[in-house]
Structure 1
Amino acid sequence: MYRLVASSADGGAVLQRLDAAGTPADSPEEVSAQDFATAVRRIETAERPRWAWLRTAETYPALLAAGADVGRCHDLSLCAAILRNSARVTDYTPLDGITTDGVPTAPGSLPPSAVSQLQGSLFEPGPPPGPSPGHLRAELAAQLAAVGRSPARARLALLLAAESAGSLIATEIQHAGVPWDTGVHDALLRERLGPRPSNGARPALLEAKAAELRALLNAPQLNPDSPQELMRALHRAGIDARTTRAWELREFTHPAIGPLLEYRKMARLLSANGWAWLDAWVSDGRFRPEYVVGGVVTGRWSSRGGGAMQIPGDVRSAARALPGHRLIVADASQLEPRVLAALAGDEPMAAAARGRDLYAGIAEAGFGGDRAQAKVALLGAIYGATTGESGRLMPQLTRLYPRAVRFVEQAARDGERGLTVSTHLGRSTPAPSERWVRSQRTASADEQRRADALARDRGRFTRNFVVQGTAAEWAECWMAELRVRLRRIAQRGLTAELVYFLHDEVMVHAEDAAVAECAKAVEEAAGAAGRLLFPGAPVEFPLSVAVVESYDQAK
């Protein structure tokens, strides 16, 4: 059963019960903005429906702020984006007004301090009303019918459910936030950079490093933050670098190189995670980034501020559990290679990874025990690095695991021909652009070389798409399964919060009494995700799990 949510003309909400096909099961109920959360709590308790709404990122934050969490939803915009491109769907086009970019339009990419000002009620006056209830009903019915007509209906249904669950999880993670000790963070900044400056000046230690660099380069007016000025100063000092990239600078022995690299490291800390970052993204002792579900074409999440997809090691010590609590940090070991083994049905590769490190198992099977070579060969197959060292090792990998290599090679050949490829559950690559198609219809030798290069680029993309996209599906199923288990623990009055996610890694914040149960839930959820996607497949998805006081202790 579904419960449709649409905005009403006066800023409230229209709620309506729908059957499994999206057909109205009773008359719509209109509630005011003030009563909306109360109505949701009442219906959630009585019916446990699957809520259907235009965008979770627009509707759910205010519900959470009002204490109304929900169990399931169907995000019409995210699902439309999947169905619009899926090669396993025919005769589906989103209705007018149903955007499929997957990017929330409100509250937007704002820091938590600004977001909180927008969450006083569900529908603030001002923005134009969204699609009507009838329009949303028709869109839901069209999506459900499209899935029902697909020969891959079961997988597509799982994909839409996982993506929608991901939208709930992303909102809940932002609402909960990573526990963040601003005192620890500030002390770290002071130690590395000096006291917090005023009026936008450089911190004292950073300015001292800049002065040292100016002296060594004999450039008293140098602004080391300007690439153009820096390049001119380097050349005047006899450092004939073509770029200011660290790997190239390290090739020179000039005494300024060390201080320059150190300056850039310090400047990067200031710009990426300095005091301005603390002010913008940490509130009430929590780091609250904004995730974008399906923000990458493969289905991976991205973020729209705060650097959620990469908390650098320099500041991880500030991600710290509250007193009487612990952080449970878990990441899936060698997720993408294991996904490839399951996708390809390559039992020898699955056996090489059973109960041990996958690369070590492959090395033992055919690379003379050299784990590094096994890793280079397998990642080369997945990411398309089939020249150089990877290319040299590819024949041996092919002899060992022909089905796995053939799977990614076929995806690459399909991409080179302009065909669409799909993940295990049915997310598909966009069709090649008209410009790409025109590039393949060439005549001259130079044009042909360019066309061949573009075709190979697309082949590398499609080769990785099927693996990375399926890994993203596994991760969403993992989190969805974990969410169910954590909600059961929390219903007993224990703190069990999913507070962070990064591709194949999750972080749970739990009180001491719930730590063991939460750690078990993380492990069980991973096993359940594997069975959901690949029932009966002999592939394991092991985790590395650490119970720590601060995030830096997990690595």
Structure 2
Amino acid sequence: MYELVAPAPDGGVFLQRLGRAGYPTSDAEALDPTDLAVAIRGIEERDRPRWVWQRTTDWYPALLAAGVEVDRCHDLSLSAAILAHSAYTQDSGYTPGVPAAGAVDADHVLARVPPPPHQGTLFEHDAPAGPGPDVLASELRDQLGAVARSPQAKRLTLLLAAESAGSLIAAEIQHAGVPWDAAAHNALLTDRLGPRPTGFARPSLLEAKAGELRTLLGAPMLNPDSPQELMRALHRAGIEARSTRAWELRQYTHPAIAPLLEYKKMARLLSANGWAWLDAWVADGRFRPEYVVGGVVTGRWASRGGGAMQIPADVRSAARALPGHRLVVADASQLEPRVLAALAGDEAMAAASRDRDLYAGIAAAGFGGDRAQAKVALLGAIYGATTGESGRLMPQLTRLYPRAVALVEQAARDGERGRTVTTHLGRSTPPPSERWSASQRTTTAEEQRRADAIARDRGRFTRNFVVQGTAAEWAECWMADLRGRLRRLRAEGLTAELVYFLHDEVVVHAEEAAAEACATAVRDAARAAGRLLFPGAPVEFPLSVAVVESYDQAK
């Protein structure tokens, strides 16, 4: 059973009950936006429908601010983005009737969480604009029909459900926010950089480091934040670096190199997570990142602003549980290699993955126990680094795990030829770019060499697409299952909320009495996700789980 939420032309909202096939079973009910939260709460408690809307981001953040959670939804835009390209629907005739969410599409980034609504109202003004109930109901029917006609209907159904669940989770994570100790953050900035300056001045310790650089490079007017000025100063000092990248600078022994590297690290802290970041992203003791579900073409999430996809080590100690609470930090160990073993049905690699350290298992099987070599070989196969050391080790990896290597090699060859590759559940690569297509129309030897290089680039992308994309599917299924378990814990009166997600890692903020139950929940959810995607596969998806007071203690 579906319940459709759609904007009305007069700024109001329509609710309409739809049957399993997406056809209306009642007339659309017009509501004032201020009455929507109460109406949705009642329907959710009574019927537990699957809510249908054009974009979760249009409605759910404000519902959460009004204290209303929903169990399930169908996000039409996210689903359209999948179905429009999926090889599993290529013969269905499906064409999106609503704008499909795209990779890093700003329209589908969660809006800033609104403040608690006044007197229980949901929207102070009009509801979000967009297509009405007839258009959205028609789009739902088209999507359901495309899935039903697919030879992989079961997988597609799971993918759309997981992606839509991800849209709910993203809104809930942003609403909850990561507990953040602003005073601790300010203290570490002061310790590393000096007291907060006024205006655009550098903090005192950073300015002192800049002064040290000027002296050592003999450049009294140097602005070390200018790459052009810095390169000229380096060259005048006899440091013939071609860039200011840290790995290249470390090759030189000049006395300015160490302070320059330290300056770059300090400047990076100031620009990425300094006081401006603290002012913009932390409020009421919470860091609330803006997530983009499916923001990467493989299906991985992205973020806009705030650096949600990487909390640097320098500031992790500020991500701190509230008194009487703990952070439960869990990450999937070596997720992508384990996904490859399951995708390929490679029993030998699956056997190696039963060890907690998959690379050690592979090393013991055929690399003389050399874990480093095993890791280089396997990651080279997944990411396309098949020359150099990886290329040298590839024949041995192929002898050990022929099915796994064959899967990524076939994906690479398909990509080079402009073909589509598809994840386990049905997310496919977009068609080749115009640049790729134009490059393949060659007439000279030089054009052919360029065409071959462009083709290999696409092959490296498709090689990893099937693995990274399937890993993203596993992660969304993991979180969706975990979300249900945490909701059940809250129903028992315990405090437990999912507050952070990064590709293969989650953070739960829980009261101390619930922390171990949450740790069990994340492990059980990982096992459930593995069984759901790969039923019967002998591949394990172990987690590293830490119950800590601050995020840095888990790293």
For the superposition of Structure 1 and Structure 2, which TM-score range results when normalised by the shorter chain?
over 0.9
Q: Which whole-Å CA distance do the structure 2 matches of 1:387 and 1:106 have between them?
A: 40
Paired position in structure 1 for 2:252 = 252
Paired position in structure 1 for 2:40 = 40
Contact kept? 1:109, 1:305, Cα under 8 Å: no
How much has 1:129 moved relative to structure 2? 2.7
Q: 1:103 to 1:65 in 2, by over 3 A?
A: farther
Q: Which whole-Å CA distance do the structure 1 matches of 2:96 and 2:357 have between them?
A: 48
How much has 1:438 moved relative to structure 2? 2.4
Paired position in structure 2 for 1:98 = 99
How much has 1:130 moved relative to structure 2? 0.7
Contact kept? 1:483, 1:498, Cα under 8 Å: yes
Paired position in structure 2 for 1:335 = 335
Q: Which whole-Å CA distance do the structure 1 matches of 2:319 and 2:149 have between them?
A: 47
Q: Which whole-Å CA distance do the structure 2 matches of 1:530 and 1:418 have between them?
A: 31
Contact kept? 2:80, 2:98, Cα under 8 Å: no
Paired position in structure 2 for 1:444 = 444
Letter of the 1:83 counterpart: L
Q: 1:66 to 1:106 in 2, by over 3 A?
A: farther
Q: Which whole-Å CA distance do the structure 2 matches of 1:459 and 1:124 have between them?
A: 50
Paired position in structure 2 for 1:180 = 180
Q: TM-score, normalised by structure 1?
A: 0.97
Q: SS at 2:78's partner residue?
A: helix
Contact kept? 2:65, 2:114, Cα under 8 Å: no
Q: 1:124 to 1:452 in 2, by over 3 A?
A: farther
Q: Which whole-Å CA distance do the structure 2 matches of 1:265 and 1:13 have between them?
A: 50
Paired position in structure 2 for 1:229 = 229
Letter of the 1:405 counterpart: V
Contact kept? 2:333, 2:541, Cα under 8 Å: yes
Q: Which whole-Å CA distance do the structure 2 matches of 1:494 and 1:119 have between them?
A: 25
Contact kept? 2:13, 2:127, Cα under 8 Å: no
Aligned residues: 552
Q: 1:354 to 1:330 in 2, by over 3 A?
A: same
Paired position in structure 2 for 1:67 = 67
How much has 1:435 moved relative to structure 2? 2.8
Paired position in structure 2 for 1:171 = 171
Contact kept? 1:61, 1:119, Cα under 8 Å: no
Q: SS at 1:116's partner residue?
A: coil
Letter of the 2:99 counterpart: I
Q: 1:104 to 1:64 in 2, by over 3 A?
A: farther
Q: Which whole-Å CA distance do the structure 2 matches of 1:409 and 1:107 have between them?
A: 34
Q: Which whole-Å CA distance do the structure 2 matches of 1:108 and 1:482 have between them?
A: 23
Q: 1:322 to 1:479 in 2, by over 3 A?
A: same
Q: Which whole-Å CA distance do the structure 2 matches of 1:415 and 1:384 have between them?
A: 12
How much has 1:116 moved relative to structure 2? 3.0
Paired position in structure 2 for 1:283 = 283
Paired position in structure 2 for 1:157 = 157
Paired position in structure 2 for 1:12 = 12
Deviates more, 1:330-339 or 1:244-253: 244-253
Q: SS at 1:427's partner residue?
A: coil
Deviation string 1:372-414 (CA, Å, 9 cap, x unpaired) is 1111111111011111111111111111110001111111111
How much has 1:483 moved relative to structure 2? 0.1
Equivalent residues in 2 for 1:402-441 (5 A)?
402-441=402-441
Q: 1:494 to 1:126 in 2, by over 3 A?
A: closer
Paired position in structure 1 for 2:468 = 468
Letter of the 2:337 counterpart: P
Contact kept? 1:176, 1:288, Cα under 8 Å: yes
Q: SS at 1:299's partner residue?
A: coil
Q: Give the root-mean-square deviation of aligned CA atoms.
A: 1.6
For the pair 1:116 / 2:117, whether they are aligned, the reply is no
Q: Which whole-Å CA distance do the structure 1 matches of 2:123 and 2:430 have between them?
A: 34
Contact kept? 1:485, 1:521, Cα under 8 Å: yes
Q: 1:506 to 1:228 in 2, by over 3 A?
A: same
Q: Which whole-Å CA distance do the structure 1 matches of 2:108 and 2:396 have between them?
A: 52
Q: Which whole-Å CA distance do the structure 1 matches of 2:511 and 2:206 have between them?
A: 39
Q: Which whole-Å CA distance do the structure 1 matches of 2:128 and 2:519 have between them?
A: 45
How much has 1:27 moved relative to structure 2? 1.6
Contact kept? 1:78, 1:102, Cα under 8 Å: no
Letter of the 1:429 counterpart: T
Letter of the 2:363 counterpart: A
Equivalent residues in 2 for 1:120-519 (5 A)?
125=125, 129-519=129-519
Deviates more, 1:167-176 or 1:231-240: 231-240
Letter of the 2:444 counterpart: S
Aligned-residue sequence identity (percent) comes to 75
Q: SS at 2:473's partner residue?
A: helix
Q: 1:549 to 1:456 in 2, by over 3 A?
A: same
Contact kept? 2:3, 2:16, Cα under 8 Å: yes
Paired position in structure 1 for 2:554 = 554
Q: Which whole-Å CA distance do the structure 1 matches of 2:87 and 2:109 have between them?
A: 31
Q: 1:94 to 1:123 in 2, by over 3 A?
A: farther
